[in-house]
Each structure stands twice: as structure tokens, then as C-alpha cells.
Chains A and B, each alone.
Chain A
Amino acid sequence: MSTVKLTVSALAVIAASATAAAARDQIQVSGSSTVLPYSTIVAELFGENMDFPVPVVESGGTGGGLQKFCEGVGPNTIDIANASRPIRDAERDTCTANGVTDIMEIRIGYDGIVFANAASGPDFAYTPADWFNALSAKVVRDGQVVDNTAANWSDVNPDLPRQEILAFIPGTKHGTREVFEEKVILAGCEESGAMEAFTASGMDEDAAEEACTTLRTDGRAVDIDGDYTETLARIQSSPGGIGVFGLSFYENNTDKLKVGTIGGVTPSTETIASGEYPVSRPLFFYVKKAHIGEIQGLQEFVEFFVADEIAGPDGPLAEYGLVSDPDLAATQEAVAAGTTLQ
């Protein structure tokens, strides 16, 4: 008998759940793990200062977040996608195909990418060319394209400390990897003249770029597919290693890490904002305009996020390591006007 009763009540629960599912009180956010900490900080402040529930923030990577974002419109889809790179055309097409047409793009600021070694290690002052010559699979020696055999940083540049080359770089699924390749390796490739040598050896431009960004596979460049905590753990277990981190992660772990300069510039929110420090990228989030007015608090949340008190240079986000956007006022205007991507 009791089994029958339980089964009936179980069915009742399922039935009740199906009917009660329509409304949703919280804003749903998903996407880039780089934007995640900023998003949670704002969500928390939003919840304690406004009469709305705290938005639910998920991390799933920029690609994963935008994929969920483009699934469609309605309370069962997310409202905001965090992204550490602009949305791609292919993603826009998926969005359009699924009826997600009016998308607001909001740039919240910039994120610096820094190179750091264990705090006990020596000081490093790199140039992008050093990184290219240390990690690229093919380098140019005396005008000849040869396999990279550099073992120590001092082989690459006599000014660098005599330490074995061992770099922990973000894996290919990270948005950070793209920036690293473009702003460090590729820049170093051009700076060192290797690009010219590659094209001179008969490659076309694409092939030369490909050759530039192909990294050596002899174990000196280690892909980290996890997050920065994994990179930090690897550096702590092999103190000779150098890791690629986000500026905010480094700023929270300055007791364990020592940051290297690029072209003589020490990374900080100031040097990144002024553009002196070369390796940085904009951070975004994308909002479904169709959800504004449907999901309560969404417009308020977006306005709150880009307010001067929050995303400005003295706000909590800058304190955490976000390089605030000098054009924040323009973003605020766009949010107020509800400007969408064309």
C-alpha cells in the first residue's frame, strides 16, 4: 500500500513541478571564467543594494556561454553571456537562427595578461621577441629557419637570467591562449624579424603566421587546460617555471608570484589602461534585449554593472584587477539607450 501512496505522491510532485516552472525571478548569467569573478562581485553588490534576488552566475567558458545564450529567447534560456572576446560571426548566425536577434554588447573593461614566476625566482624583463624565440617551434638563426633548441632563457636573450625554459601557458580552449598567441608570440615573431624570414623562405602570409604561432612540443611549453589555480600549483611544484596569468589572479597572489615586465613595463591597472603594457584584451558581456522587461531587474543589473561606482577606476572591480574602460560613459549611454549590435 505504502508503495502505491509514495508513487502517487511522486507523480504529484512531477505534475506540480511542470506547472510551477513558468516564472523565473533571478537573472541567469553564464560564460567566460575570466569575467566570472567580476560578474559575481557585481551580482553580490546588486543583490545587497537592490530589491532583486542575486543573479545566478555560471562559468562555462566564453564559447559555452555564448552557445547557451544563442539557444533561444524565453525564461528557460540565459539572459547574459560573459565573454573574454567579441562574439564571432558564426555565433551571431546561430543566435539569429534561434530568434536571438537584438543583442546588446557591453564592454566592461580590460584584462591584462601577465607572466609570472615563483616569488623566490629571479627577476625577468621580457620582450615579446624573447617569448617567441623561447617557445616557437621554428626560429630564425643567422638567417636560417631552424628548429628551436634553446634550453635556457639566457640562450634566447643574454640579459635574461640563466634559467631553464619552462612555460605554463593556457590551453587552446582558453580565450587567453588566443590573446597570448596574437599579442605575444605573433608580435614577437614580427619584432624579431622571423616573420620576414619565414615569408622569405617561400611561405605565404597565412603560412608564416601559422609557423610563428606553432609552439615547440618538446615539453618546454606546457598547455594548462585548467584554470590559473592549476598554473600556480604547477609553478609551486617546479619553481623554475613561468606561468601566464590574468592580472587579477596575480594581484591576489603577489606573495607567491613575481611578475615579469614586457618591454620594460610592469603590468598594472594603470599601465594597461594607458596602453603602455601591450598584452591586454577587452572583456564583454552580452544581453538579450528581448529579456529586458520580461526578467525583472535585468535593465537595473546592466545599468548597475557599468555604473561609475562599480566599473569605474575607483570601484570594486578595478580594485580586484579589472582595468576600467576609459570610454565607460559611452557604454553607459548605450545601455540607457538600449543600443544593440547591428
Chain B
Amino acid sequence: MTDNPDRKPASLLRQDARTRARNAAERRFRWYGIGAIAISMIALVVLLATILTDGAGAFRQTYLNIPVTLDAAVLDPKGNRDPAEMAKVLTLTYGKVLDKAVGDAVAREAIQVEGLTEKDIKGLVSREASAQVRNRVLAEPELVGQTVAFDVLTGGRIDGYFKGRVTMESAERDSNTSPRQLQLAQALADRGMIVTRFNWNFLRLADASDQRPEAAGVGAAIVGSFYMMLVVLVLAVPIGIAASIYLEEFAPKNRCTDIIEVNISNLAAVPSIVFGILGLAAFINFAGLPQSAPIVGGLVLTLMTLPRIIIPTRAALKAVPPSIRDAALGVGASKMQSVFHHVLPLATPGILTGMILGLAQALGETAPLLLIGMVAFIRDIPSGLPSGLFDPASALPVQVYNWTQRSDPAFIERASGAIIVLLVFLLCMNVLAIWLRRKFERRW
């Protein structure tokens, strides 16, 4: 035993310089880690806070309850109460009837607003309301000539005022509203005629044009996204799982399967817009499927999702210990039995997680839909299955993209509201994935 003269015997109580340096490096690394987490947490909190503050308003909506005199001379000029004849009266005329109803209410309630003009009265009620009144009148022609109470949407600026988006100062400069109009709205609210309540219609209605942000909803987008997810679920999941079981358990290991493997990994990394181009060429131009339809969207997303399901499924199958297979084969099970009775049940949690995360990714995808006509103004909610698969539909991320491009600032609120809906769906799917994994997980 020869002691190195340069090195003092180490003491447990006193650290030497190199130990100190090593410990310092570790401490520094911990701080880097905490810093990294802090930055991502701040980013997340800022993002969520912005979306929630911007989007919360979309879930509340201002309504006006107003008695409307349905003037027979205006709404049924022929006087025969024939819905076919009355349908010739356009919603624009009904809009004037509603404006008159607001004017009557101002006179009846003796509301005093200095300098109130006809234009101020005109913008109070949403243009959507005229369609609502018209549909009701055409359905019940006997209402003509009576005074009927209607619960109608208020205009976007009035709605914004009750949500704090529009103020008296901004209204001063705003050509679409005026402080007088807001005072009138406030007076009506004081009399209980204008109320703000939870906006179920945001989840039920489809998109609306630039002139009626207050009527826009994510209904068509939710249905469209749901149909597309259904197509992906029905196609991508069985194909993906079958492909991965074959590749992992049955396929011979040779050059051919190697090439397939490389290609699957490559496909998973292909930008999603490429699948949109493929979808346009294959499904719309070649197969003749309709544009803007969820079936095409679903097929495109299926192509995009397939590699993203195959890769985690193969990983899950690979993670099942070989001893399970050997034991099954050892007691005389066939290859098929060993895979389906023993390996697959053990790989289920991994497969389910991969599948749900693949679906979640497909749910949030916009780019491939851009080329197949789904980034469009869709006013009608698609019909029920299966014919609804061929109706034009929107999708949630597409709706967000569409609304951020509109000129009326009220659509910013709607876009954030749609993001909240999308995030809730994604959260549900991720929670489901975690729950399934926990439920079926088995440890060795």
C-alpha cells in the first residue's frame, strides 16, 4: 500500500475540491431543470389565462325579450296566410319589423336617451333574430296580426357591452354602435328586458357570417370533428393494430420488412399538409368523393394517424416479455393463440394510449383539411349518420382558424371559446388514455 503524497486522505466531514465541484454541478443542473419547468409552466399559464379570459365570454350571451307586433300588411301582403306566399317576404323585411318593435318598446317604457336615432335602434337586435321570427311565422301563420313575445339575440356590440368588451369610450369612435345605443341597452337591461345568460347555442349552432358574430357557434364543427374521429377510429385503429401485430409477431425479418419499417417511421414524420394534397388527389379528384365532407377529412386523417398508431402499438407489443410468448408456445398454444390470448391483452394499455393520443392529434389537425375544402363557411349542421358523412362540415381547429380572420372583433371571443371547447375534448381524451392505461396496466 503506497499512499499518493499529493492526495490528502478524504474526510467524510470535509469535502475536497473535486467533490465540491461535482456537487455544485449537480445543484446547478437541478436549477436548470427547475428553470426549464418554470418557463414552460409560465408559458402554459399565460396561454391558458389568455384563452380563458378571451373565450369565457363566448359561453355567455345577451338576449332581448321583446313583444313584436307581426303586422299582417307587411308580413302577408296577399292576406291569405299561405306560407308559400309569405315565404316571399325576406328576412330583411322581418328585420324592419323587429326594429319597429324596439322603437315601440322605447316609447312604451318611456325610455329617455338624448339624441337617440333610428340607426341606434336598428343595431340593437341581431340580424339572426329576423330569421328566428320569420321561421316561427312561417311555421305558425296564424300568429300574423298578433303581438308575440320573442326572445331574440342582441347585436354583437350590445352583447360586447354587457361583457365589458365594448365601453362607452370605444363606442364613441365605433361606427357600428354609439354611446346612445348602449344607454338604450342599459335602460332595457334595467327594466329586465335584456338579460345575459349561459350560451348553450354556442355549442349547438353552426358558423354565422361576419355580420352576426353573436349567432356563431361550434355546433357544425363539433359534429364534423366527431364524424371524422369516427372514420379514423373505424379505419385507422383496426388497420393500424392489424399491421403492427403482423409486423411484430408474424412477419419474417428480411429486407422487405425493414423497408416497410423505415417507411412507417418516415410517414410519421411527414408534414400533415402532404396528406391533404394526397387526399385531394386520391379521394376528391380520383375517387370522386365530395369536397368539404367529413368522410374525406376522416380518410385523410386516417392516413396521417396510421403510422402514429402503428409505432406505439409495435412498441407496446415489443414491451411484452418474450417469456410470456415462450410459456404459451411451451404449453402447446399456436402462434396465433399465443399472440391473441397472451401478448395482446398485456399490450392493450400501451395500444390504447397510442391510439387515443393518435386520435387526439388528428382532432387538432388543420393543415390537411385546408386542401380538401373543409376550411370553409359552413352554415348547416351535417345530418345524421351515415349520410352526414357526405355533407359539408367544419372541424374545431378549422373553426378557430376561420374566426381569427374575421374583421369583427367579437369573433376573437368566439375563436377563444372554440379553443376552450377543443382543449376540453383533448383533455378528456388524454384523461381517458391515462385512465385506461392505469386500469389495464400490469407490472412484472
Contacts and interface: CB of A to CB of B under 8 A. Distances in A.
Instruction: Say whether A and B bind each other.
Output: yes
Interface of A: 3, 6-7, 9-10, 13, 16-18, 20-22, 24, 26, 28, 30, 33, 36-37, 39-41, 43-45, 47-49, 51, 53-54, 56-59, 75-76, 78, 119, 227-229, 248-249, 251-256, 309, 315-316, 319-320
A9 B90 CA distance: 46
A170 B42 CA distance: 34
Interface of B: 87, 90-92, 127, 131, 134-135, 170-176, 208-212, 231, 234-235, 237-239, 241-242, 284-285, 287-292, 295, 373, 375-380, 386-387, 389-390, 392, 404-409
A40 B210 contact: yes
A248 B291 CA distance: 30
Nearest to A57: B377
A309 B93 CA distance: 10
10 contacts: A6-B237, A10-B238, A17-B389, A33-B405, A39-B377, A43-B377, A45-B92, A58-B376, A228-B407, A229-B407
A9 to B, nearest CB: 7
- Residue from B135, B231, B238, B287 whose CB has the most chain A CB atoms within 10 Å: B238
Given A3-B242, A21-B288, A251-B175, A320 B211 contact: yes
A10 B235 contact: yes
Contact of B209 (A40, A248, A315): A40
A254 B387 CA distance: 44
The list of the 5 closest CB pairs from A to B, nearest first, reads A54-B379, A6-B238, A57-B377, A255-B174, A58-B376
A47 B175 contact: no
Given A36-B377, A255-B173, A320 B234 contact: no
Contact of B289 (A17, A251, A253, A316): A17
Contacts of B92: 45, 309, 315-316
Given A3-B242, A37-B407, A253-B407, A119 B373 contact: no
A252 B408 contact: yes
A37 B292 CA distance: 19
A14 to B, nearest CB: 8
A contact patch SS: helix
A26 B291 CA distance: 10
Contacts of A53: 380
Contacts of B131: 48
Contacts of A37: 209-210, 406-407
B238 A7 contact: yes
B305 to A, nearest CB: 14
Given A13-B235, A41-B211, A251-B175, 11 more contacts: A18-B289, A24-B290, A28-B373, A48-B131, A49-B87, A53-B380, A56-B378, A58-B376, A76-B290, A256-B409, A320-B211
A16 B293 CA distance: 14
- Residue from A30, A51, A248, A253 whose CB has the most chain B CB atoms within 10 Å: A253
A229 B405 contact: yes
A228 B409 CA distance: 12
Contacts of B176: 251-252, 254
- Residue from A20, A39, A49, A251 whose CB has the most chain B CB atoms within 10 Å: A49
B41 to A, nearest CB: 25
B129 to A, nearest CB: 11
A17 B390 contact: yes
Contacts of A76: 284-285, 288, 290-291
A18 B299 CA distance: 12
Given A3-B238, A3-B242, A316 B379 contact: no
Contact of A229 (B134, B135, B404): B404
A255 B171 contact: yes
Contact of B241 (A3, A39, A256): A3
Contacts of A36: 377
Given A21-B390, A28-B291, A249-B407, A41 B91 contact: no
A18 B242 contact: no
B242 A7 contact: yes
A253 B409 contact: yes
Contacts of B235: 10, 13
Contacts of B172: 255
A252 B242 CA distance: 54
Given A6-B238, A21-B390, A254 B211 contact: no
- Residue from A22, A26, A47 whose CB has the most chain B CB atoms within 10 Å: A26
B377 A58 contact: yes
Contacts of B234: 6, 9-10, 13
